[in-house]
């Protein structure tokens, strides 16, 4: 019970912080980045449910984002439907696709699951390029209208920010609720010991599929937000590279940690932006940091830095004692 | 770019016999290269259980180093050997710097480590060689040899010949030498191998070194046809991966067979519809994973390791 | 006592490649019994447990739980018949707290799904309260109620981890609980308390089938003992009968009878 009320307090604090954040952000560009972080955070939260909590790797998560983005883009541009319908359709289609491919894919484990999801992601991207009648191929879908609330178009970064921030807070609440429930415990049990979960009566295949669907729907939802924010969707945005970035967000932030996923989304997005000023060195630095973090802080940056500081302080203390 | 989805569907035509032969030639060539990359995956997987996502970067570096050496006036054999030597060192260094310190880490952590290494290497390649595709001289004359209605490039023959020779060499290494036997023992049961005094840690490093060497060689022989580019390793690596799965991961002959099959199927698929070339590889990989995760020649009979 | 069969194995066989791990095994467990399976290492005891709980698929034979066919069903369905178990190599959920581990044990006792969990609907919340209460009760039963329930499960001492597995199994309110070497790695004092615990479990109306190497424990608490050797049943009866059986003695001395 105490844990739960602490969670609600944290959530309220985060919502309040998100509400005032634009006031302290220095520029339109900074708000734009905050929007991108929020969108990534929603995807990372879903992926962390799948990877961090249920222990199932996905190297194809970008595909679900792409499916949501294209669904929303096509429905609003080609069918002239409201972006809100697109948003619902994006989430639904993301979840539905996960439901269809999840059945066979989730029978795989470890590296095999990683490769299976990778292959799935690649194929979805190829479909985006090849199904030109629907997706405009390598040109992409342009002129996607913004959301609008009661006649007010969410066409500025600030207005979009509030929609994304509210969605992200909602996603955090949702993920927290799920983790702290019978369903969430069943998912985590699958990760902890699949055989013990099954003999405790947990239908492991069913819960793996449920969490996969949930992560797919969250990714599809975020994809739709992306489409109406960027006003443009292109197959290149939803490839292997983005899938990797998403996994890195989860891992860097810390597996099985809700705030870790949000932190990871922020860190990876900002590092990506920061590194641009290093130009050709940006990929080198990103790769090197990634390897170093994984080798020395496998629990992620968040917990890892805390551990590291603790260890440094601890060893200095020990050294002092030895000298004394 | 001709595409097959939607409005350009009518462009699909059936190939003639000569075209089929041509596809077969290019498929076998490309397939040999895939097989070589798949073999690199297999070596490391057998020694460590890790799937090395940086395998493609070994290939890209091999291509870039070989073409630079050849550009600088080094004779071709020397250029290729330099690329191989450099990649051998790089493979060993990767193991020592990033894999060994992370021993016992989870599958996800290991995946991210090798992906991180691949990003790092790709960054270095772009910094050193720039973003553009660079040409490389063929190993011998570029005049094609005509085989009836189809034609074959000398480089095709070089590639197939070198791949066959390499397979033979690796087979001899595995069957006839002490080191090869030790490596195979580690692949079957690492702990048991250690118990009988085989230095398993050194075998792991050796597998990375050999795998780097294979990547370097694959890159140097394919570069005259494909050109060399900093990011060429992504697709080549992933295709090698598909080949390894098709053949049965952990199975060396399977890797080669998977590579050849994949090359031919891809070449035929691309002949029918060029936009679908990549879909062929990933589609086959998915199908194999779902229907028979142990691949064509998977030696582990059960689905236990791959499937719950 | 009216003998009602709770668990029945009929001609059950399991092969691993060329090795026959369990060979044509037939036995029954009566409701309310404490029954033990003993035998040398590799006799097929844990395999038998894995067959009963659907972890392994059997090659031949039938398994019935309370009159319902349980063979060829996945583990979670067998669990829903009222079969719970512990593991020889402790299988706790390392990523969860003590209380949560036990609450997973009560999984089949609740039904709230993804939607009611996401929205924290009132029915789900009252169910959660009941589950947590049930889990605390089970922790009390095995004597782990003094520990902070939020502690990570793997921070427990080894003996406590075994008890936590028992609590998790009991949380399902099972008809039958299978204990796989519950005394392995326990101290003498801990083993004595375990003996009491098993008897308490029976008092609750739960039937117990256990595997253990601690002969003092087994002979003291069991109503019936079954002896396996190389997957074959070589003796079955009261502890007294079994201890006198020459084939059992031979098997334990490592000789062929």
Q: Which CATH number is associated with domain C1-82+174-257?
A: 3.40.50.300
* Predicted local confidence at residue B302, as pLDDT: 35
- pTM (predicted TM-score): 0.88
Chain A touching partners, 3 or more CB pairs below 8 A: B, C
Mutate to test the interface with A, among C100, C104, C161 (most CBs of A within 10 A): C104
B272 burial level (CB within 10 Å; 0-12, 13-18, 19+): middle
Q: What is the largest CA-CA distance in chain B?
A: 64
Set out the domains of chain B in order of their start, with CATH numbers. 29-136+153-291 (1.10.3470)
Return the top range by mean pLDDT from A270-279, B167-176, B200-209, C203-212: C203-212
Q: Is A319 on the interface with C (CB under 8 A)?
A: no
Chain B touching partners, 3 or more CB pairs below 8 A: A
Compute the nearest-CA separation of B249 from chain A (Å). Answer: 10
The percent of residues in chain C predicted with pLDDT above 70, rounded, is 97
Instruction: Reply yes or no on whether the pLDDT at C42 is more than 90.
Output: no
* Predicted local confidence at residue A324, as pLDDT: 31
* Predicted local confidence at residue A314, as pLDDT: 64
More confident position, C18 or C242:
C242
Report ipTM for this prediction: 0.91
Cβ-proximal residues to C247 (8 Å cutoff; 6+ apart), any chain: C227, C229, C234, C235, C257
What mean pLDDT is reported for chain A? 88
Residue A278 binned pLDDT confidence (cut-offs 50, 70, 90): low
Question: Does residue A19 contact residue A168 with C-beta atoms inside 8 Å?
Answer: no
Residue A210 binned pLDDT confidence (cut-offs 50, 70, 90): very high
Per DSSP, what are the bridge partners of residue B33?
Answer: none
* Predicted local confidence at residue A315, as pLDDT: 52
List, for residues A1-32, the tens digit of each pLDDT value. Answer: 556 778 888 889 989 998 899 888 889 899 99
Average pLDDT score over residue span B273-287: 83
Compute the nearest-CA separation of B98 from chain A (Å). Answer: 7
* Predicted local confidence at residue B38, as pLDDT: 94
Compute the nearest-CA separation of A91 from chain C (Å). Answer: 15
Average pLDDT score over residue span B48-65: 92
* Predicted local confidence at residue C173, as pLDDT: 92
Q: Is A214 on the interface with C (CB under 8 A)?
A: yes
Residue B14 binned pLDDT confidence (cut-offs 50, 70, 90): low
Average pLDDT score over residue span B146-168: 88
Q: Is C100 on the interface with A (CB under 8 A)?
A: yes
What mean pLDDT is reported for chain B? 85
* Predicted local confidence at residue B199, as pLDDT: 83
A183 contacts C113? CB cut-off 8 A:
yes
Average pLDDT score over residue span C218-242: 91
- The C-alpha torsion from A224 through A229 and A232 to A235, rounded to 10°, is -50
A193 contacts C107? CB cut-off 8 A:
no
Average pLDDT score over residue span C223-244: 91
Average pLDDT score over residue span A142-168: 90
Question: Pick from A3, A177, A189: which is nearest to C93 by CB?
Answer: A189
C92 contacts A196? CB cut-off 8 A:
yes
Cβ contacts of C131 on chain A, cutoff 8 Å: 182
Instruction: Reply yes or no on whether the pLDDT at B7 is more than 50.
Output: no
User: Which segment of A191-205, B101-115, B236-250, C168-182 scores lowest on mean pLDDT?
Assistant: B101-115
Q: Is B5 on the interface with A (CB under 8 A)?
A: yes
More confident position, A137 or A186:
A186
Ranges of each domain in chain C: 1-82+174-257, 95-172
Query: 């494909």: which residue's tokens?
Result: B226
* Predicted local confidence at residue B277, as pLDDT: 79
Mutate to test the interface with A, among C117, C129, C178, C209 (most CBs of A within 10 A): C117
Return the top range by mean pLDDT from A212-226, A278-292, B202-216: A212-226
The percent of residues in chain B predicted with pLDDT above 70, rounded, is 92
Q: Is A177 on the interface with C (CB under 8 A)?
A: yes
The DSSP symbol for B10 reads G
Q: How far apart are CA B304 and CA C17, in angstroms?
A: 14
Residue B301 binned pLDDT confidence (cut-offs 50, 70, 90): very low
Instruction: Reply yes or no on whether the pLDDT at A289 is more than 90.
Output: no
Compute the nearest-CA separation of A277 from chain B (Å). Answer: 14
Average pLDDT score over residue span C180-199: 91
List, for residues C174-187, the tens digit of each pLDDT value. Answer: 999 999 999 988 88
Question: Pick from A109, A281, A296: which is nearest to B308 by CB?
Answer: A109
Instruction: Reply yes or no on whether the pLDDT at B10 is more than 60.
Output: no
* Predicted local confidence at residue A319, as pLDDT: 37
Q: Is B105 on the interface with A (CB under 8 A)?
A: yes
* Predicted local confidence at residue A323, as pLDDT: 34
Q: Per-residue b/e over B164-197, b at no fewer than 16 CB within 10 Å?
A: eebbeebeeebeeeeeeebbbbbbeebeebeeee
Compute the nearest-CA separation of A68 from chain B (Å). Answer: 20
Question: Does residue B166 contact residue B221 with C-beta atoms inside 8 Å?
Answer: no
User: Which segment of A269-278, B145-154, C51-60, C81-90 scores lowest on mean pLDDT?
Assistant: A269-278
Instruction: Reply yes or no on whether the pLDDT at C53 is more than 90.
Output: yes
Cβ contacts of C83 on chain A, cutoff 8 Å: 199
Cβ contacts of A196 on chain C, cutoff 8 Å: 87, 91-93, 168
* Predicted local confidence at residue A318, as pLDDT: 40
* Predicted local confidence at residue B149, as pLDDT: 79
* Predicted local confidence at residue B192, as pLDDT: 80
Q: How far is CA A29 from CA A111, A158, A161, B199, B271, in A?
A: 39, 10, 12, 55, 46
User: Which segment of A94-103, A210-219, A255-264, B187-196 scores lowest on mean pLDDT?
Assistant: B187-196
Number of A/B CB contacts below 8 angstroms equals: 162
Ranges of each domain in chain A: 2-239
Question: Does residue C202 contact residue C76 with C-beta atoms inside 8 Å?
Answer: no
**Strand runs (DSSP E) across B78-221, as ranges?**
145-147, 150-152
A115 contacts B289? CB cut-off 8 A:
yes
C124 contacts A185? CB cut-off 8 A:
no
Task: Please give the residue of chain C at the shortest CA–CA distance from A198.
Answer: C76
Q: Is A105 on the interface with B (CB under 8 A)?
A: yes
* Predicted local confidence at residue C254, as pLDDT: 61
User: Which segment of A163-167, A301-305, C44-48 scores lowest on mean pLDDT?
Assistant: A301-305
For B224-278, give the secondary structure using H, E and C. HHHCECCCHHHHHHHHHHHHHHHHCCCCHHHHHHHHHHHHHHHHHHHHHCHHHHH
List, for residues C147-162, the tens digit of each pLDDT value. Answer: 888 899 989 999 899 9
Instruction: Reply yes or no on whether the pLDDT at C211 is more than 60.
Output: yes
The percent of residues in chain A predicted with pLDDT above 70, rounded, is 93
Q: Is A116 on the interface with B (CB under 8 A)?
A: yes
Q: Is A208 on the interface with C (CB under 8 A)?
A: no
Average pLDDT score over residue span A117-137: 90
A183 contacts C114? CB cut-off 8 A:
yes
A202 contacts C104? CB cut-off 8 A:
yes
Residue C2 binned pLDDT confidence (cut-offs 50, 70, 90): low
* Predicted local confidence at residue B306, as pLDDT: 43
Residue A139 has phi, psi (to 5 degrees) of -75, -40
Cβ contacts of B112 on chain A, cutoff 8 Å: 247-248, 251, 290, 294
Q: Is B290 on the interface with A (CB under 8 A)?
A: yes
Instruction: Reply yes or no on whether the pLDDT at B194 is more than 90.
Output: no
Q: Is B276 on the interface with A (CB under 8 A)?
A: yes
List, for residues C129-144, the tens digit of each pLDDT value. Answer: 999 999 999 999 999 9
Task: Please give the residue of chain C at the shortest CA–CA distance from A186.
Answer: C104
Residue C253 binned pLDDT confidence (cut-offs 50, 70, 90): low
Task: Please give the residue of chain A at the shortest CA–CA distance from B294.
Answer: A112
């Amino acid at each position: 019970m105490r844990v739960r009320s602490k969670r609600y307090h944290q959530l309220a604090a985060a919502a309040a912080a998100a509400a005032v954040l634009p006031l302290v952000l220095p520029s339109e560009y900074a708000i734009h980045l905050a929007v991108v972080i929020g969108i990534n955070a929603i995807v990372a939260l879903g992926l962390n449910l799948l990877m961090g909590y249920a222990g199932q790797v996905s190297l194809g998560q970008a595909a679900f984002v792409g499916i949501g983005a294209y669904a929303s883009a096509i429905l609003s541009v080609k069918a002239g439907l409201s972006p809100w319908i697109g948003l619902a359709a994006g989430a639904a289609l993301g979840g539905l696709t996960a439901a269809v491919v999840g059945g066979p894919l989730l029978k795989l484990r470890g590296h095999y699951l990683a490769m299976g999801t990778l292959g799935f992601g690649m194929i979805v991207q190829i479909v985006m390029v090849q199904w030109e009648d629907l997706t405009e191929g390598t040109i992409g879908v342009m002129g996607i209208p913004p959301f609008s609330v009661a006649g007010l178009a969410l066409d500025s970064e600030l207005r979009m920010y509030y929609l994304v921030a509210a969605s992200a807070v909602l996603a955090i609440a949702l993920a927290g609720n799920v983790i702290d429930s019978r369903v969430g415990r069943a998912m985590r049990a699958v990760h902890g010991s699949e055989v013990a979960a099954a003999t405790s009566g947990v239908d492991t295949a069913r819960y793996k599929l449920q969490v996969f669907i949930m992560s797919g729907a969250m990714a599809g939802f975020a994809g739709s937000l992306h489409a109406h924010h960027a006003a443009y969707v292109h197959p290149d945005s939803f490839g292997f590279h983005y899938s990797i970035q998403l996994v890195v967000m989860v891992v860097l932030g810390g597996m099985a940690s809700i705030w870790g996923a949000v932190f990871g989304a922020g860190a990876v997005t900002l590092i990506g932006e920061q590194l641009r000023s290093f130009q050709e060195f940006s990929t080198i630095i990103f790769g090197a940091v990634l390897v170093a973090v994984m080798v020395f802080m496998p629990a992620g940056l968040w917990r890892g830095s805390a551990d590291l500081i603790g260890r440094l302080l601890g060893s200095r203390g020990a050294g002092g004692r030895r000298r004394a | 770019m001709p595409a097959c989805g939607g409005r350009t569907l009518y462009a699909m035509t059936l190939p003639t016999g000569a075209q089929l032969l041509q596809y077969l030639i290019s498929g076998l060539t490309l397939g040999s290269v895939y097989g070589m990359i798949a073999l690199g995956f297999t070596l490391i997987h057998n020694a460590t259980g890790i799937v090395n996502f940086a395998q493609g970067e070994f290939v890209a570096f091999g291509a870039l180093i070989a073409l630079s050496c050849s550009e600088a006036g080094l004779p071709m054999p020397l250029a290729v050997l330099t690329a191989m030597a450099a990649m051998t060192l790089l493979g060993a260094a990767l193991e020592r710097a990033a894999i060994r310190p992370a021993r016992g880490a989870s599958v996800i952590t290991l995946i991210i480590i090798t992906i991180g290494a691949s990003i790092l290497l790709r960054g270095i390649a772009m910094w050193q060689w720039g973003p553009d595709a660079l040409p490389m001289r063929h190993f011998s004359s570029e005049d094609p040899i005509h085989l009836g209605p189809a034609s074959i490039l000398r480089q095709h023959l070089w590639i197939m010949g070198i791949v066959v020779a390499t397979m033979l060499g690796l087979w001899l290494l595995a069957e006839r030498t002490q080191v090869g036997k030790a490596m195979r023992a580690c692949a079957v049961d690492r702990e048991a191998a250690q118990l009988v005094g085989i230095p398993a840690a050194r075998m792991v490093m050796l597998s990375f070194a050999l795998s780097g060497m294979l990547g370097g060689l694959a890159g140097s022989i394919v570069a005259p046809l494909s050109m060399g580019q900093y990011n060429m390793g992504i697709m080549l690596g992933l295709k090698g991966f598909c080949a390894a799965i098709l053949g049965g991961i952990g199975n060396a002959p399977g890797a080669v067979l998977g590579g050849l099959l994949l090359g031919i199927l891809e070449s035929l698929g691309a002949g029918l519809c060029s936009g679908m070339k990549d879909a062929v590889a990933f589609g086959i990989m998915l199908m194999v994973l779902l229907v028979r995760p142990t691949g064509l020649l998977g030696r582990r009979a059960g689905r236990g390791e791959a499937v719950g | 006592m009216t003998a009602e069969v709770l668990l029945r194995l009929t001609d059950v066989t399991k092969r691993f490649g060329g090795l026959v791990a369990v060979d044509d095994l037939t036995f029954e467990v009566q409701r309310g019994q404490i029954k033990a399976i003993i035998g040398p290492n590799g006799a097929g005891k844990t395999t038998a447990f894995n067959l009963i709980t659907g972890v392994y698929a059997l090659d031949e034979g039938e398994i019935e739980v309370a009159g319902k066919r349980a063979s060829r069903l996945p583990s979670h369905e067998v669990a829903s018949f009222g079969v719970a178990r512990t593991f020889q190599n402790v299988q706790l959920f390392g990523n969860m707290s003590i209380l949560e581990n036990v609450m997973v044990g009560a999984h089949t006792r609740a039904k709230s799904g993804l939607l009611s969990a996401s929205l924290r609907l009132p029915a789900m919340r009252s169910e959660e309260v009941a589950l947590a209460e049930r889990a605390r009760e089970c922790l009390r039963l095995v004597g782990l109620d003094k520990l902070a329930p939020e502690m990570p499960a793997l921070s427990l001492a080894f003996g406590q981890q075994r008890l936590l597995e028992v609590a998790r199994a009991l949380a399902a309110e099972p008809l039958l609980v299978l204990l796989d070497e519950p005394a392995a790695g326990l101290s003498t004092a801990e083993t004595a308390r375990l003996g009491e615990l098993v008897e308490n479990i029976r008092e609750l109306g739960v039937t117990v089938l256990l595997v253990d190497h601690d002969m003092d424990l087994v002979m003291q608490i069991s109503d019936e003992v079954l002896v396996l050797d190389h997957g074959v049943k070589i003796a079955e009866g009261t502890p007294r009968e079994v201890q006198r059986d020459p084939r059992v003695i031979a098997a334990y001395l490592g000789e062929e009878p």
